[in-house]
Amino acid sequence: MNSIELAGVGMTSQRTRERLIQRLIDQGIISQPVLDVMRMTPRHLFLDEALSHKAYEDTALPIGYSQTLSQPYIVARMTEILLSAGPLKKVLEIGTGSGYQTTILSQLVQQVYTVERIEPLLKKAKERFRKLGLQNIVAELSDGSFGWDGHAPYDGIIQRRLLDEGSIVNPSVPVLEILDSTYVEARVSLPKSIIKSVNLGQKYPFIIGDESFDATLMRLAPMSSRGSNNRLGIFAFDAFFNPGETARLVLNIKEAKRGTWVPLNALSQAEQGLWTVFTVSSDNSAQKDYVELIHIEKTMAYVSGTLKTGDKVIVGGASKVAEGQAVRDSQ
């Protein structure tokens, strides 16, 4: 890649980039490392040539396959939040997209692992990483539902349209997906008992912070291949929220499968709609079970599966436990 292509000319020149950086500062971005990296990263290279003249506008832009190159402010703010606790060594990104957010992260952390479900986008992103000489990025074709356990644990997890700091994400309390500067979705795992009582196109209340906001149920999507009866409910908000905001869907479960209560932090996400929990077997080793999460109250989760009351479960980091591993008392 030649230096002119990297530097840009006209509407992709360094002067144009400086105007974008000033807009980010005006909107409250204060992290100097984030601003410096975004100043030097050629955003126009992550777009088709026909759109490159818009690369340094503070707006989301299409990259094909119904996906977008995220608004620079959203990229900056999500990155700033992720790094606010201090330097990070290893970060998982769910949703590579064009590779722009990945490229920003790769200049601020030691190692980035990234997954993308759309193969043509991933191929283009990998080619950009190669041209830019980025050697601390490992990319894989995946829909992100499973995370990437092979490289866990991570110091931080970021999604191109979602921010999660690595804690268990309660299906009824999703982190909001920022689709562009004015449109937000929440994706919620809905048990079969709830699916019967919801209707497409109808508005439902969510609690965000201390306020209630309505969101429209846009569609229901299939969930896990392991036999879960859950469906993924996609809700659209008219209001805009900051990256990292969480929302609790306010619906009453009138009927529930027979199950048992376990501590919420004994669960780790498996596939969408199912969770894993590790129990202690008779030989004091960890045994993995798949369960369906039915209901949550404070720090406890009501789950349906092969668990029964009285089973010993491993809490506080179940995602790091290997099946068959000897269990220490501290676990």
Condensed to tens digits (0 to 9), the pLDDT of residues 168-222 reads 223 333 334 444 445 567 777 676 666 777 889 988 877 776 677 888 888 887 7
Question: Using an 8 Å Cβ cutoff, are 113 and 92 in contact?
Answer: yes
Top pLDDT among 263 and 100 is at 100
Residue-wise burial string across 170-200, b where 16 or more C-beta atoms lie within 10 A, e elsewhere: bbbbbbbbbbeeeebbbbbbbbebbeeebee
Map tokens 């092979």 to a residue: 150
Top pLDDT among 166 and 175 is at 175
Give residue 132's pLDDT.
93
pLDDT in tens, 104-129: 999 999 999 999 888 999 999 999 99
Top pLDDT among 172 and 269 is at 269
Mean pLDDT of the chain: 74
Give residue 158's pLDDT.
78
pLDDT in tens, 74-92: 888 888 878 877 788 988 8
The band of 18, judged by pLDDT with boundaries at 50, 70 and 90, is: very high
Give residue 162's pLDDT.
34
Least confident of 14-18, 184-188, 293-297: 293-297
Report the pLDDT averaged over residues 314-331: 58
Cα dihedral across residues 106, 65, 171, 146: positive or negative: negative
Listed residue (105, 74, 96) closest to 184, CA to CA: 74
pTM above 0.85, yes or no: no
Does residue 281 carry a pLDDT above 70? yes
Secondary structure of 113-158 in HEC code, one letter for each residue: EEEECCHHHHHHHHHHHHHHCCCCEEEEECCCCCCCHHHCCCCEEE
Catalytic residue (one of 13, 31, 52, 70): 70
Pairing assessment for the beta strands 260-263 and 300-304 based on DSSP bridges: antiparallel
Give residue 100's pLDDT.
95
Give residue 2's pLDDT.
36
Catalytic residue status for 70 = yes
Does residue 45 carry a pLDDT above 70? yes
Taking each helix axis from N to C end, the angle separating 72-82 and 32-40, rounded to the nearest 10 degrees, works out to: 140
Give residue 171's pLDDT.
35
Does residue 303 carry a pLDDT above 70? yes
Pairing assessment for the beta strands 211-222 and 231-237 based on DSSP bridges: antiparallel
Question: Using an 8 Å Cβ cutoff, are 75 and 84 in contact?
Answer: no
Dihedral, CA of residue 51, residue 52, residue 57 and residue 63, to nearest 10 = 50
